[in-house]
Amino acid sequence: MNIINKVADMQKISKHEKQQEKTIGFVPTMGYLHEGHQQLIKKARASNDIVVLSIFVNPLQFGPNEDFEAYPRNMERDEEIAHSLGVDYLFYPTITEMYNGERTTIIKVQKRVDVLCGKHRPGHFDGVATVVMKLFQIVMPDSAYFGMKDAQQVAVIEGLINDYHLQVELIRVDTIREEDGLAKSSRNVYLNDKERLEAPYIYRALTSGKEKFLQEMSVSNAKDQIFNFLSKNTSGEIEYIEVLSYPALEPISSVKPGETAIIALALKFSKARLIDNIVFSY
């Protein structure tokens, strides 16, 4: 495995590999790799000649009340995991390398961001779209792998790819869960013992809400079901519960068979804000 720190070097490598008619699978991350990330890498490894993993904690997607410096980092461990999974190139740039000077253009996401996490984190997905666009231009992948735990992020990036006719295929990868149903996340390390016991109720609440929706085809009843379930079984603060179309992330005004929906929620514990979702057809 080769570690690349410079944008120009990564671009040169990608051009060379593509000239050899090799396919490039790309897994963009902010590091502190967990089993969810590992599943993305495994999917990329199974389907491509070359696998590129990026680790870059992107300052543009952190809001004024979010601690960029506190985001968990463990580069030595991440390198070991990447090497063990057969990553060919680990792209690990500095902030200065990625944002070298004042920007003359900006990417502003206009759709799919006024709900869910985007509603509570203004500007967050502008930062996500900006860094993903830059990474796509640097790595030049044939396919990029994203986990569905961050389903809103997937929807935004699919929109970015479609809007700009980017020659990369986004591969959705199912959420990886603990045995008790809790979605794998770097933020789970911040749960105390009591909260860790409560956290699996997030997925159970989503499942209960999905069943309610399919039974009654009522958005409000499904949301009430989830709210009551979480209130009864957890001490966390409910930030949002939403039932929307997917990937458009718009209100479901009329229930039409064959459509796709997402049920998503965010729950804030003392030191961890957890998100999860279920995407399904009805």
142 carries a ligand binding annotation: no
126 carries a ligand binding annotation: no
149 carries a ligand binding annotation: yes
From 16, 37, 124, 165, active-site residue? 37
What's phi and psi for 55, nearest 5 deg?
-125, 115
208 carries a ligand binding annotation: no
Long-range contacts of 218-225 (CB under 8 A, 24+ apart): 219/243, 219/251, 219/252, 222/263
191 carries a ligand binding annotation: no
10 carries a ligand binding annotation: no
The sign one gets for the Cα dihedral 267, 195, 64, 145 is: negative
Q: Is 37 one of the catalytic residues?
A: yes
What's phi and psi for 195, nearest 5 deg?
-65, -35
212 carries a ligand binding annotation: no
Where does the chain have alpha helices with state H?
Answer: 7-19, 35-47, 75-84, 95-98, 116-120, 124-139, 151-163, 193-198, 201-216, 219-233
What is the total residue count of the chain?
A: 282
97 carries a ligand binding annotation: no
120 carries a ligand binding annotation: no
CA atoms within 13 A on the CB side of 75: 10
241 carries a ligand binding annotation: no
By annotation, the residues acting in catalysis are: 37
Annotated binding site for (R)-pantoate: 61, 153
Annotated binding site: 30-37, 61, 147-150, 153, 176, 184-187
Annotated binding site for ATP: 30-37, 147-150, 176, 184-187
